Amino acid sequence: MSDTTHHRICPLCEACCGLEIKVRDRRVISIRGHKDDVLSRGYICPKAIALKDLHEDPDRLRSPRIRRNGVHVEATWEEAFAEIERRLPPLLAGHGRNAVALAVGNPAAHKIGLLTYFPKLARALGTRNVFSASTLDQMPKQLASGLMFGHWLSVALPDISRTDLLLVIGANPLASNGSMWTVPDFRGKAKALQARGGRLIVIDPRRTETAAIADAHHFIRPGGDVFMLAAMVHTLFAEGLVSLGRVASWVNGVRDVEAAVSPFTPESVASRCGVPAPTIRALARQLATTPRAAVYARIGTCTQEYGTLASWLVDVLNTLTGHLDVEGGMLFAKSAAFAANTAGKPGVGKGVGTGRHHARVSGAPEVFGELPITCLAEEIETPGQGQVRALITVGTNPVLSSPNGPRLSSALETLDLMISLDIYLNETTRHADVILPAPSPLEDLHYDVAFPQLSWRNHARYSAPVLPPPQDQPPEWQTLLKLAAIVQGKGAQCDANALDDAQFEDDTQRMFGPEADAVMAATRGLRGPQRLLDAALRAGPNGAGFGSEKDGLSLRKVMEASAEGGIDLGELQPRIPEMLRTPSGKVELAPPLLLQDLQRAAADVGRAPPSLVIIGRRDVRTNNSWMHNLPTLAKGPMRCTVLVHPEDAARHGVSDGALATLRNGAGQLRAQVRLSLDMMPGVVSLPHGWGHDLPGTQLSVAAQRPGANINTLLDDQSRDPLSGNAVLSGVAVSMEPA
């Protein structure tokens, strides 16, 4: 057979690079960057190559597992669904819908089948107990953006190709390849910025890979961002540097912000955040006096006690310095499909709110339809009406990725039923009674649902499956529909395609009204995510519509462009006021929820910092908890090491290469020490996603070098109260030689 060439969006991180994959005799023979890709222009990182390892990984599950007497045994799909049908409906009948929890993880963001069909399962279940990795990650950013701009995914993005000053706070795109910002080849774009005379400034408790290429780097005490940012805003007002520019008539609340930040003088916050007052002032001035500038902040600013406040203040800075919604500043993407900020009436909307219901045990408010994932263990453990008795996990490994993993692990073992849709028998799914495998990404079609809303450039790209799935392997959307059918009492035997047809027709009638017949006609012959995608593209801002085919996007058009690298929809453009979905039709600079929370921060300025705190770290050859089983990535130096400044090493008696014990009230672990002058003194760093030494898993490569789980040191009760996001950064630890 001759070689075939395929184009596939890399599903492994938010950069969403376009790949060119060559196949011979159903085997991948090469993976490289697709140089014509409209978004990534040939850029890739080492993880892309590992898609071959992932596809061929003998540990990757290719058939369901049922746990019998504590052992996971291979089962057919029929047996697996029969087991679920035998056990799930009685639990629902006996204990109610909230007794079944749902948890979904990071890979779902990279799978159109999961993103479009998980909500259908959630709706069928009707449970309030929905949890996701979002509350270990970006929920603060989504809440702040939602309150300001009216929708959870209306996130302002740096216009990196035209800006002259990029301030990066708590992000390391050289390792992570960007987050809440799809920006493949950040390094190349940063170099271009510098080549045209622009500056890159990084604020981070570690002199990161990104800091190393920056024009300036400032240490910040972990968790100190809210204080530094509030003092920068304070400086803008104090020095008359506020100038809103083109959005001036679309912003509410400037005076309220001025009053709210009045206690935060640079001098009053300097010791709390570790950034000297003159530096804070200089940063604010630079931002205000550079015509094209942008502030970008990411996970380091989210995974802390004041995550929502910090995320909000970043965009307050962007707005007050006239950099919101202008070229070279911060812009909003215009996604060709699935974006709430292109749907409905332009310029006004319902806005966002929180707390439609609350977690039963902690009382934490619902945010964006979810409860904090750090509440999951206590919801399982605590008896009473509404106690969680069953759990369905979809692509998530919270035993490693969530604070106090050991507690969660014990709690999972007490469930009456656990079902996992996953590709591995790992630290979390080992607790499942039934594991339903997902296909390999190379066997799945793809279109990015969320990331075009966060991309540095507007585009539309489709990936067909590179390889055919094994005969009996259902796509994930069908597995989710089957679970929904079981929940709804329609039985495991029902035909997923027929269910999908019926649902699509219902939804179309409801959403399109008089146009429904045209929608049905235009999408005839399609089903599943492809049909949803076709409808979304046609209805989207660049769409062909549903009548006689006019110029514009449809699934067919985007598919046809795949070999040419997709469809380029151009640079980001100013979108205010059209993209706003706030009830006022304005940017809400001073949401009352946030002003109120700022008082909590004001009362906390004087707190003395612990003498040693721990933060995380990402490495380009790993991804969260689940790529440690891929030989291409696992080889080379051990990456789960604790970075320690030499002064701290001396103070605690630990030395380079030796093992140290880290401990606090939550737990303890052992990890190898690496001395590093790049660490801020008083701060040590250990990556997350390790700890593959738990029994009952099937991860033969990862188990050889298991590493230690940082989340054994983190407290599952420690959250940003507004967003429910876990505190993962700046946690006090002690350290001693092991």
Ligand X SMILES: Nc1nc2c(c(=O)[nH]1)N[C@H]1C(S)=C(S)[C@@H](COP(=O)(O)OP(=O)(O)OC[C@H]3O[C@@H](n4cnc5c(=O)[nH]c(N)nc54)[C@H](O)[C@@H]3O)O[C@H]1N2
Which residues of this chain interact with ligand SF4, rule CB under 6 A?
A: 10, 12-13, 15-17, 44-45, 47-48, 177, 184
Smallest separation, CB 437 to ligand X (Å): 8
Smallest separation, CB 43 to ligand SF4 (Å): 7
CA angle 457, 323, 599 (to 5 degrees): 115
Q: Which does 622 bind (CB under 5 to 8 A by kind): ligand SF4, Mo ion, ligand X, none?
A: ligand X
Q: Which does 15 bind (CB under 5 to 8 A by kind): ligand X, Mo ion, ligand SF4, none?
A: ligand SF4
Is 224 in contact with 209 (CB distance < 8 Å)?
Answer: no
Of 293 and 394, which CB lies nearer to Mo ion in the complex structure?
A: 394
Residue 319 in contact with ligand X, rule: CB under 6 A: no
Residue 173 in contact with ligand X, rule: CB under 6 A: yes
Q: Which does 424 bind (CB under 5 to 8 A by kind): Mo ion, ligand X, ligand SF4, none?
A: ligand X
191: CB partners within 8 A, 6+ apart: 213
What are the φ/ψ torsions at residue 299 (nearest 5 degrees)? -60, -30
Is 200 in contact with 213 (CB distance < 8 Å)?
Answer: yes
- Residues between 695 and 724 that touch ligand X (CB under 6 A): 710-711, 714
Residue 276 carries which side chain, given as an amino acid letter?
P
CA-only gyration radius of the chain, Å: 25
Q: Using the rule CB under 6 A, which residue among 190, 421, 580, 727 binds ligand X?
A: 421
Q: Using the rule CB under 6 A, which residue among 85, 225, 597, 720 binds ligand X?
A: 225
Smallest separation, CB 157 to Mo ion (Å): 17
Q: Which does 12 bind (CB under 5 to 8 A by kind): ligand SF4, Mo ion, ligand X, none?
A: ligand SF4
Smallest separation, CB 401 to Mo ion (Å): 9
Of 98 and 401, which CB lies nearer to ligand X in the complex structure?
A: 401
Q: Which does 728 bind (CB under 5 to 8 A by kind): Mo ion, ligand SF4, ligand X, none?
A: ligand X
Smallest separation, CB 137 to Mo ion (Å): 4
Task: Give burial (CB, 10 Å; 0-12/13-18/19+) of 163.
Answer: buried
- Residue 98, Ramachandran bin (φ over 0: left; ψ between -120 and 50: alpha; else beta): alpha
Of 529 and 543, which CB lies nearer to ligand X in the complex structure?
A: 529
Residue 374 in contact with ligand X, rule: CB under 6 A: no
Q: Which does 10 bind (CB under 5 to 8 A by kind): ligand SF4, ligand X, Mo ion, none?
A: ligand SF4
Residue 662 in contact with ligand X, rule: CB under 6 A: no
Distances (CA, A) of 185 to 3, 37, 175, 447: 29, 13, 11, 20
Q: Which does 673 bind (CB under 5 to 8 A by kind): ligand SF4, Mo ion, ligand X, none?
A: none
Q: Which does 44 bind (CB under 5 to 8 A by kind): ligand SF4, ligand X, Mo ion, none?
A: ligand SF4
Closest C-alpha among 103, 130, 95, 117 to residue 484: 117
Of 47 and 207, which CB lies nearer to ligand SF4 in the complex structure?
A: 47
The residue assigned the tokens 């969260």 is 624
Interior/surface letters 306-324, b for 16+ CB within 10 angstroms, e for the rest: bbbbbbbbbbbbbbbbbbb
- Residues between 272 and 301 that touch ligand X (CB under 6 A): 298-301
Residue 417 half-sphere exposure, CB side, CA atoms within 13 Å? 20
Do the strands 731-732 and 659-663 form a parallel or antiparallel pair, or are they unpaired?
unpaired
Smallest separation, CB 209 to ligand X (Å): 9
Closest C-alpha among 355, 354, 359 to residue 381: 359
Structure tokens at 268: 């009053």
Residue 80 carries which side chain, given as an amino acid letter?
A
Interior/surface letters 360-382, b for 16+ CB within 10 angstroms, e for the rest: bbbebbbbbebbbbbbbbbbbee
Residue 645 in contact with ligand X, rule: CB under 6 A: no
Residue 207 in contact with ligand X, rule: CB under 6 A: no
Distances (CA, A) of 216 to 106, 279, 288, 291: 32, 11, 17, 19
Q: Using the rule CB under 5 A, which residue among 137, 225, 427, 597 binds Mo ion?
A: 137
Instruction: Report the SS3 class of residue 703.
Output: helix
Residue 470 DSSP label: P
Smallest separation, CB 568 to ligand SF4 (Å): 18
- Binding segment for ligand X (CB under 6 A), chosen from 131-139, 142-150, 159-167, 564-572, is 131-139
Smallest separation, CB 249 to ligand X (Å): 33
Rounded-to-integer distance, Cα 62 and Cα 83, Å: 18
What is the binding site for ligand X (CB under 6 A)? 13-14, 105-107, 111, 133, 136-137, 169-173, 175-177, 179, 203-206, 208, 220, 222-223, 225, 298-301, 304, 394-398, 401, 421-424, 426, 428, 438, 441, 476, 615-616, 618-620, 622-626, 688-689, 710-711, 714, 728-730
What is the binding site for Mo ion (CB under 5 A)? 137
